[in-house]
Amino acid sequence: MSTPFETHEPARADIEARHGPLLLEFGSPTCGHCRRAQPLVEEALAAFPAVPHIKVADGPGQPLGRSFRVKLWPTLVFLRDGVEVARAVRPPSSAEVSAGLQQVSGGAA
């Protein structure tokens, strides 16, 4: 099942205060690139059920996306303990998403 986009984005301080792995996805439900990437993201996440996934509906002037310097959608930011570890922009395959998930989860699926 697809994770819905959050309409109220979390504050950057809340993201930085989180412990453990996190996949933060920036995009839009109307973005063609985002819709194309969803099966890839979901396939990769299926192997990492312990990694939380937050989808943020991004747009001009949205503070969280700007603080992460998001330029293109979808942008996947892989964090561990609130710190960015890896990033994937318009991932072409689930393997690229899986690689970021492995980095934030300590290599264990």
Q: Are 60 and 13 in contact (CB under 8 A)?
A: no
**Predicted pLDDT at 1:** 47
Q: What residue ranges define each of the domains in the chain, with the CATH number in brackets?
A: 5-80 (3.40.30.10)
Within the chain, which residues score under 50 in pLDDT? 1
What tokens does 4 get? Answer: 């819905």
How confident is the model at residue 108, as a pLDDT?
61
